[in-house]
DNA sequence: CTGAAAGCGCTTACAG
DNA sequence: CTGAAAGCGCTTACAG
């Protein structure tokens, strides 16, 4: 019933707890013979070290906290998969929280993870987050921090992102090359760094190609399918319709796609469409969606590796490097 | 830098650690005045109780372990989302591991979580798992256990499943009603209880409708898109082609779908297709896939609730109830 | 109403 | 090569 402890082993072996502990950790002071006896007994009694007690002693656990807006979202669950892979290989376990894109809940998540004394945190901030005090608190508490995808520029920590500006720029240039001239953008919320960068890429592409930037063609909104639908609806109400839409991400692009289809508007003949992320389902619809690939799994692996690296450093020499992974324009039939 | 401790507060307030601890936990013995002073100081110093120390003392943590075959898989990530919701509301944090459908890794996952002294575990077993000793070990260690979706019949614990037999039975009856007679089944692996139940439902539907059960129409395999492709390929190599395929789950159905399309085989005219799970992308393809709805989010919530309930009980009175959620046949154009 | 003491399961500096 | 002691940050039975 109860877990076997070091003390149990010590009593059984007529040794001290210190010696058993050292034998278990293969300390050079302990004789081969004693080690063998201890190891044999540990195996026999199915001894499993109590990581909680170890963590308390070491003032640091083997857990890594992960905070994402929503676990059930292909992009984030794929990132988490990548994080878990790397963490597992390094002997760490991940604690996963979702903020539900709520700033308040994100704060509670960081508190819960800090209270659990995680060694580090990997976080992708909520849509509402504009104040970063909770992230600074984490750092002051000596918890390593790496931001990914939805990062906060102002927070001086390692970040793992993709080249959002370039991804957007390339996507919009492609539309222009294809002959589209009235290109709208469903832009997400201006709070988020990724959204600003993608929007800047969009605007730069227009500017570099001597096309006007029209305010009515830029619609702020959320990151889900519904936001794509409502955005598309607003665009279709304009007197001068766009001939192409660049969406902040694939869920939004999908919302646009479904809405346009319901309205009987041909893609790409009446309106072309480009998304961002390369979620698997962009390949399933007809016409298939042109999108910008974001290597989700690799983002997870990279962020986790970066965190592990920081864990090995002292609190003073935490890296603040920003790692930018490449995007790739995936040409398909929606543009 | 360092976290504030109860002792720090005690020194600052010239009280004993015991009193501070009691005040923080709102113990009735402590005077209102003292409580207020303690609370004020705790707030000022941003005191966060060390959950690790608490867990060691209480011999039980506020963490729940979750093991799934693969995090990035719509079904499982949705279940995890549901689990997190319920756990969060109850003040628990989840630790998530993926077995990658490897029996060995699943064992290591249970060990890691047990070493972390999680209060309970929610697990969906790997495709390879046929020996359940590791699950029994967990229970012997006093860790509450609830299995979901991929359960092991023999393990005497709470389980949350859907009515797989009925879901399959209904789906196949529907095909028969539609006039299909040569219905094949891509059946997953016989180790898994869910697979056996779905296959039994399939066979019962044929039998009840006086149709022959043909061995060459039942193909064992895995649970991914590739398995759907290879299964479809095998079926197409038969001299007598099936006129409908019932796939073990949606990823497999999707693989079939894509393979048939590549081969220029019309769905449902040449071959009809039905999946299982109602993953979001079954609605995106054309023709849309008929499938059996499995309430993934609700499975997660229910399993988590059941675990919390067991956590409240003594180790002797753990429920072994099996909760069966209803499935629903979602009729679409692929059948 | 408050405090001293012991203990949860481990680790490690110190002694021998 | 091994052990006794102290301590990580808490909680709680016992005493006063």
From first to last of the 335 residues of chain B, give the pLDDT tens digit.
578 899 899 888 888 889 999 999 888 888 888 889 889 999 998 899 999 999 999 888 999 999 999 999 999 999 999 999 999 999 999 999 999 999 999 999 999 999 999 999 999 999 999 999 999 999 988 899 999 999 999 999 999 999 999 999 999 999 999 999 999 999 999 989 999 999 999 999 999 999 999 999 999 999 999 999 999 999 999 999 999 999 999 999 999 999 999 999 999 999 999 999 999 999 999 999 999 999 999 999 999 999 999 998 876 778 899 999 999 999 999 99
Q: For B39 and D10, how far is CA from C1' in angstroms?
A: 17
Contacts of B77 in chain A (CB under 8 A): 71-74, 77, 80
User: For testing the chain B interface, which of A53, A68, A71, A143 should be mutated: the one with the most B CBs within 10 Å?
Assistant: A71
Q: Under 8 Å CB-to-CB from B91, ≥6 apart: which residues?
A: B62
B201 vs B189: CA distance, rounded Å: 15
Q: What six digits make up the tokens of A61?
A: 């656990």
**Any atom of strand D under 7 A from CB of A263?**
no
Q: Give A212→chain B minimum CA distance, Å.
A: 35
What is residue B1's predicted lDDT score, i.e. its pLDDT?
57
DSSP, collapsed to helix, strand or coil, labels residue A42 as: helix
Q: Give B257→chain A minimum CA distance, Å.
A: 10
Q: For B284, which residue in chain A has the nearest alpha carbon?
A: A285
Query: On chain C, which bases lie within 7 A of the protein's CB atoms?
Result: 1-5, 7-13
B315:A1 CB<8 A: yes
DSSP, collapsed to helix, strand or coil, labels residue B237 as: coil
What chain B holds in terms of domains, given with CATH numbers, is: 1-47 (1.10.260.40), 164-293 (3.40.50.2300)
B142:A1 CB<8 A: yes
**Any atom of strand D under 7 A from CB of B50?**
yes
B234 vs B245: CA distance, rounded Å: 12
How far is C-alpha A48 from the geometric centre of its chain's CA atoms? 32
What is residue A1's predicted lDDT score, i.e. its pLDDT?
58
Secondary structure letter of residue A327 according to DSSP: P
Q: Which nucleotide is nearest to B17 (CA to C1')?
A: C3
Q: What six digits make up the tokens of A152?
A: 């906060």
Q: Is the whole-model pTM more than 0.85?
A: yes
Q: What six digits make up the tokens of A137?
A: 């608190």
By residue count, chain A amounts to 335
Which contacts of B5-12 are long-range, i.e. CB under 8 A and separated by 24 or more positions? Answer: B5/B47, B5/B50, B6/B47, B6/B49, B8/B45, B8/B47, B9/B38, B9/B41, B9/B42, B9/B45, B9/B47, B12/B41, B12/B45
What is residue B312's predicted lDDT score, i.e. its pLDDT?
86
**Residue B286: which of A95, A111, A286 has the nearest Cβ?**
A286
What is residue A31's predicted lDDT score, i.e. its pLDDT?
84
Calculate Rg over the CA atoms of chain B: 25
A163 vs A144: CA distance, rounded Å: 24
B186 vs B209: CA distance, rounded Å: 20
Nearest to A71 by CA among A107, A93, A92, A99: A99
DSSP, collapsed to helix, strand or coil, labels residue A96 as: strand
Bond from prior residue into B264 cis (ω within 30 degrees of 0): no
**Any atom of strand D under 7 A from CB of A240?**
no
Contacts of A56 in chain B (CB under 8 A): 50, 52-53, 56
Q: For B21 and D4, how far is CA from C1' in angstroms?
A: 30
Query: On chain D, which bases lie within 7 A of the protein's CB atoms?
Result: 1-5, 7-13
Contacts of B46 in chain A (CB under 8 A): 137
A47 vs A44: CA distance, rounded Å: 8
Contacts of A297 in chain B (CB under 8 A): 72
Nearest to B39 by CA among B22, B54, B62: B22
**Any atom of strand D under 7 A from CB of B57?**
yes
Q: Between vectors from CA A112 to CA A108 and to CA A115, what angle results, nearest 5°?
A: 135
Q: What percent of chain B has pLDDT over 70?
A: 99
DSSP, collapsed to helix, strand or coil, labels residue A48 as: coil
User: For testing the chain A interface, which of B53, B60, B81 should be mutated: the one with the most A CBs within 10 Å?
Assistant: B81
By the 10 Å C-beta count (0-12 exposed, 13-18 middle, 19+ buried), A44 is classed as: exposed
| Helices A193-208 & A164-177 angle (0-180, nearest 10) | 30
A95:B95 CB<8 A: yes
With beta carbons less than 8 A apart as the criterion, state whether A259 and A295 touch. Answer: no
Q: For B53 and C9, how far is CA from C1' in angstroms?
A: 11
DSSP, collapsed to helix, strand or coil, labels residue B322 as: strand
Per-residue pLDDT of chain A in tens (335 residues, 90 and over written 9): 578 899 899 888 888 889 999 999 888 888 888 889 889 999 998 899 999 999 999 888 999 999 999 999 999 999 999 999 999 999 999 999 999 999 999 999 999 999 999 999 999 999 999 999 999 999 988 899 999 999 999 999 999 999 999 999 999 999 999 999 999 999 999 989 999 999 999 999 999 999 999 999 999 999 999 999 999 999 999 999 999 999 999 999 999 999 999 999 999 999 999 999 999 999 999 999 999 999 999 999 999 999 999 998 876 778 899 999 999 999 999 99
B140:A1 CB<8 A: yes
A147 vs A203: CA distance, rounded Å: 26
């Amino acid at each position: 019933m109860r877990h076997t402890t070091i003390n149990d082993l010590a009593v059984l072996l007529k040794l001290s707890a210190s010696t058993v502990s050292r034998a278990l950790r293969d300390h050079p002071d302990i004789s081969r013979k004693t080690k063998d006896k201890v190891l044999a007994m540990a195996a026999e009694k199915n001894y499993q070290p109590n990581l909680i007690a170890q963590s308390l002693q070491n003032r640091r656990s083997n857990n890594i906290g992960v905070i994402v807006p929503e676990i059930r979202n292909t992009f984030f669950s794929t990132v988490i998969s990548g994080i878990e892979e790397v963490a597992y290989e390094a002997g760490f376990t991940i604690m996963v929280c979702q903020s539900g894109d709520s700033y308040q809940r994100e704060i509670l998540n960081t508190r819960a993870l800090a209270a659990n004394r995680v060694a580090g945190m990997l976080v992708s901030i909520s849509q509402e987050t504009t104040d970063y005090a909770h992230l600074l608190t984490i750092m002051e508490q000596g918890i390593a921090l790496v931001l990914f995808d939805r990062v906060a520029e102002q927070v001086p920590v390692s970040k793992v992102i993709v080249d959002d500006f370039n991804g957007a720029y390339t996507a919009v240039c492609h539309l222009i090359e294809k002959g589209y001239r009235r290109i709208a953008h469903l832009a997400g919320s201006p709070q988020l760094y990724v959204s600003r960068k993608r929007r800047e890429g969009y605007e730069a592409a227009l500017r570099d190609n001597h096309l006007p930037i029209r305010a009515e063609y830029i619609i702020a909104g959320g990151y889900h399918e519904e936001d794509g639908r409502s955005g598309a609806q607003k665009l279709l109400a304009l007197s001068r319709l766009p001939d192409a839409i660049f969406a902040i991400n694939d869920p939004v692009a999908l919302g646009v796609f479904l809405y346009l289809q319901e309205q009987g508007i041909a893609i790409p003949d009446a309106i072309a469409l480009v998304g961002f992320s390369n979620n698997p389902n962009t390949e399933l619809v007809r016409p298939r969606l042109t999108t910008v690939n974001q290597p989700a799994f690799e983002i997870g692996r990279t962020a986790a590796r970066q965190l592990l690296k920081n864990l090995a450093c002292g609190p003073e020499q935490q890296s603040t490097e920003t790692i930018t992974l490449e995007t790739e324009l995936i040409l398909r039939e929606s543009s």
